[in-house]
Structure 1
Amino acid sequence: MAEEPHGTWFGFGFRGFRQALGSGRGCQAVLSPEPLRAGGHIRGVSASWSYTALMTCGGRVELSGYASGEASDCRDVWASEGLVVVLRAGPGSLEELQGWAPSSALRGEPLWAQTALVPEAEAQREDPPEGDGPATKLPLLPGSRAHLSPQPPFRQPLAPELQARQLDLGNEHVLLLCAAGQVFSWGGGRHGQLGHGTLEAELEPRMLEALQGLRMAQVAAGGWHSVCVSETGDIYTWGWNESGQLALPARSLAEDEETVTWEGEEEAAARAKDGVPVPFIAVQPFPALLDLPLGSDAVKASCGSRHTAVVTSEALFISGKYGQLGHKDSASSDRPCRVEYFVEKQLQVKAVTCGPWNTYVYAVER
């Protein structure tokens, strides 16, 4: 079997406080993908608004931006504006989760620490090759049916029947993918981000009935929207669509001159002639099946605050607002637009991670 070539992590979008995205002055956004730099091969990225955490294959975490610093002997990292959580290697199957204030630069004593029991198979697993991402997936605690929160209590048990495979946090809501491929959500629902057809909050995990019976492979929570990818390559979106992040027609973008809208000029003219209003969607409270261009099947997805990125077997598609779309300009889009940079460079996208206002992509040569 041929060994897969080593790839590169790229970043684009809002640069914040000089995050891992470029070092030039006078520009607040990197409009075209550029390679990330670190003291070792990068295998994972976690981004907050003002800083970025890079996980290298050598077990080192590097922070860049408003928060800077590094830590060694790490297996995973999760960045949020108020907390950076590091999973540190330990003896045997015991490892330790440490919560730090981002401004501490990972020096001194952590704000809190707790032992995490890693399953034996996971403890014996070697570090994954470059680009595969961290061996564990924070904020889901390894070896336990619990999830991590940036506010006390830091460990919240889940119901015994919820054997979680993946968990993702939005600004006000949580998505959980269970071992059976079903999606659960809870938290704030005022923008329809829970997918239950209402704008009400849910205090406990509730299964999305609209997706019941369909096996999902991945979930992604944005600021106030949600996405999931099925095992057959279909993608579903729901929640807030103010910036076109659901790849559904958004009124705010239709009124913006620097926007790629869902309907072309011919379709819009035909609707105007027939007196048919454009079906703008502000909130989508149920999961909506999204048709990707060229009949592409989705492989992975990630969400920022107001944008969505989808990886297919052929390309990377992004919808949403501001310069995190990677289209060499700051135009917004309420339809999935292919990022041509990777096509032009003959790179195949393997993974994508969205920060609140930027995007990080792992790609290999074709």
Structure 2
Amino acid sequence: MAAAAGGWFWVGFGAAEGVGPEPVLLGAPPETIRALRPSWSFVGLVEAAGGARLVARRGSGAASAAVPGGACRDLVASERHVVVLREAALEAWRVEGPGAALRAQQPVWRRQLSAHEAAAAGESRAGGQGGRRRCPDGRCSSPASPLPRSLLPAELPLVAGGYVEPRAASFFRPLSPALRARQLALGHEHALLLAAAAPDAGHLFAWGAGRHGQLGHGDLASAAEPRLVEALQGVPLGQVAAGGWHSAAVGEAGELYLWGWNESGQLGLPAKGMMGSPGGATTAEAQCSRRPSGGLQAPQESPPAAFISIQAFPALLDMPEEADVSKVSCGSRHTAALTRTGELYTWGWGKYGQLGHRNTATCDRPTKVCCFEAWGLGVAEVVCGPWTTFVLALPLSHPQRHSCQRAEHPEESSACPPEDASGAFLPAGAP
């Protein structure tokens, strides 16, 4: 089978309504998309040409709305508002009705940036998500970024002096000048900050609601101000991600740490819903829970719990085949990890097909997403929305026979067909 053209694929909620949980190819060529910012029901696309638009499912087709107001450097979105970074200002625009329509003539909030802040914002967005597109194991046909992920510039929600939060009434929240950030990730009720400057360089701070253990402080207490995650002190970290009520961090050596709520197995730990309780696991889920393809390192002197609902300390996850992780992204209750060799693993809540395994099963073990490899594509980037997963998959220079066919676990094979479920997202000539 010839390799697919590649591009950004939409997986999960709204991606293929009425035809099953199949990846859907976005119509825009990947080189035209500088950043991709999902919300629950739509995704914001920051275009390389300077514009931005919101794309949502509407019936069997798609609805697209341009973000008004001129050039856009970056954006973050909630269901009600989109916060946009302009050349010299931050603006919040109200999202109205189905299809992510932007009918307002004026922003509902605006914060002017000083000349220094505007220059800093322009410098920090020079790479953007587009600069992070790295070909897996050097095998893609498009050029790779020369910068390691840890050296790439920060992005929204970080701005000079603080960060923006589209769900907050004030939209802008200040940060202490002493706490210089390399990256900031927002969950539904908490925030993670990876520090950039001495004496805190590489340290992780967390604050917000803690009732699900998502702060990693070892308890369920909330924190009003950034507080050091002591369990990871001394561990060189390259990237962090915040889910709805769980958190993740990637070490510079490729190790993956997870903590917080495990209601749907999003931590890769045994979940209550997978243990055969009434109204719990389906057949596919039960098969997933028995796969010996990963697990957490735990003390051997105590027997493992039947299931784990909350993990309040960061815990190291054993990836299948001891894979090194280069990027992690978290949805509301699912997790996606990209390895350094361009393989994508997902686990957690799968009701809308957001795990990419051609089913709607929930899974509490890292499981390889096979369809892109079967198409001759390598995964270069992954971005989770709350109920979606967006995957940038590029053609491999030297396609190999995909390794997902396993007789002992046939349900792991996801060699999904390249036919798209909705032509509204496909460019001309796409597979």
TM-score, structure 2 normalization = 0.72
Contact 2:89 2:118 in 1 (8 A): no
> Which stretch shows the higher mean deviation, 62-71 or 337-346?
62-71
Distance in 1, Cα, partners of 2:65 & 2:359: 31
The equivalent residue for 1:171 is 188
Deviates more, 1:112-121 or 1:250-259: 112-121
Name the amino acid aligned to 1:290: L
Partners of 1:174 and 1:247 in 2: CA distance: 21
Whether 2:307 is the aligned partner of 1:280: answer yes
RMSD of the alignment, in Å? 2.5
Q: Does 1:221 align with 2:238?
A: no
1:232, CA displacement in angstroms? Answer: 1.0
Alignment of 1:261-276 (within 5 A): 261-264=288-291
Deviations 1:78-100 (A, max 9, x none): 111221111123xxxxx211101
Change (3 A) 1:63 1:341: same
Match of residue 18 from structure 2: 26
Counterpart Cα distance in 1 of 2:48 and 2:378? 21
Residue 54 (structure 1) aligns with:
45
1:108 is the counterpart of 2:99: no
- In structure 2, the residue matched to 1:36 is 26
**SS at 2:105's partner residue?**
coil
Larger relative contact order (C-alpha < 8 A, sep ≥ 6)?
2
Pairing 1:97–2:80 present: no
How far has the Cα of 1:48 moved from its partner? 1.1
For residues 390 and 124 of structure 2, the distance between their equivalents in structure 1, rounded to whole angstroms, comes to 29
Is the CA contact (8 Å cut-off) linking 1:189 and 1:200 kept in structure 2?
Answer: yes
1:140 maps to 2:158 = yes
**Residues 1:318 and 2:346 are matched in the alignment:** yes
| Matched-pair contact (CA < 8 Å) for 1:68–1:105 | no
Aligned positions, number: 335
Shift of 1:212: 0.2
Q: Which moved more, 1:326-335 or 1:107-116?
A: 107-116
Q: Quick one: distance in 1 between partners of 2:388 and 2:259? A: 21
Q: Aligned-pair distance for 1:135?
A: 7.0
Query: Is the CA contact 1:100–1:106 (under 8 Å) kept in the aligned structure 2?
Result: no
The alpha-carbon distance between structure 1 residues 55 and 124, as it changes in their structure 2 partners (threshold 3 A), is closer
1:344 corresponds in structure 2 to: 374
Closer, same or farther in 2 for the Cα pair 1:320/1:200, shift >3 Å?
same
Contact 1:84–1:101 (Cα < 8 Å) also in 2: yes
Structure 1 residues 267-321: Cα deviation after superposition (integer angstroms, max 9, x where no partner): xxxxxxxxx7753111000000011111110100110000000000220000111
Separation in structure 1 between the aligned mates of residue 185 and residue 332 of structure 2, nearest angstrom: 13
Matched, 1:63 2:93: no
Change (3 A) 1:129 1:64: closer
Contact persistence 1:241–1:250 (CA under 8 A): yes
CA distance in 1, matches of 2:326, 2:11: 21
Three-state SS of the structure 2 residue aligned to 1:252 is helix
Whole-Å Cα distance in 1 between the matches of residues 125 and 191 of structure 2? 29
Partners of 1:181 and 1:124 in 2: how far apart?
Answer: 18
Q: CA deviation at 1:210?
A: 0.2
1:184 aligns with 2:199: no
Distance 2:325 2:123 in 1: 31
C-alpha spacing 1:154/1:332, structure 2 compared with 1 (3 Å):
same
> Separation in 2 of the partners of 1:361 and 1:200?
35
CA 1:124 to 1:201, structure 2 compared with 1: closer, same or farther past 3 Å? closer
Partner of 1:13: 12
Distance 1:175 1:74 in 2: 25
SS of equivalent residue, structure 1 residue 249: coil
Which shows bigger deviation, 107-116 or 183-192? 107-116
Write the distance in 2 (CA, Å) between the matches of 1:360 and 1:335.
20
1:360 corresponds to which letter in structure 2?
Answer: F
Could you list the runs of 5+ residues in structure 1 that have no partner in the other structure?
A: 1-5, 16-20, 90-94, 266-275
TM-score, normalised on structure 1? 0.84
The one-letter code of the counterpart of 1:80 is S
Q: Percent identity?
A: 45
Q: Which range is displaced more, 213-222 or 42-51?
A: 42-51
| 1:245 maps to 2:272 | no
SS of the residue corresponding to residue 316 of structure 2 reads: strand
Deviations 1:80-123 (A, max 9, x none): 1221111123xxxxx21110111261641000111232345944
Quick check: 1:220–1:303 contact (8 Å CA) kept in 2? Answer: yes
Query: Matched residue of 2:158: which SS?
Result: coil
Equivalent-residue separation in structure 2 for 1:73 and 1:87 (angstroms)? 9
Cα distance change of structure 1 residues 127 and 174 upon mapping to structure 2, 3 Å threshold = closer
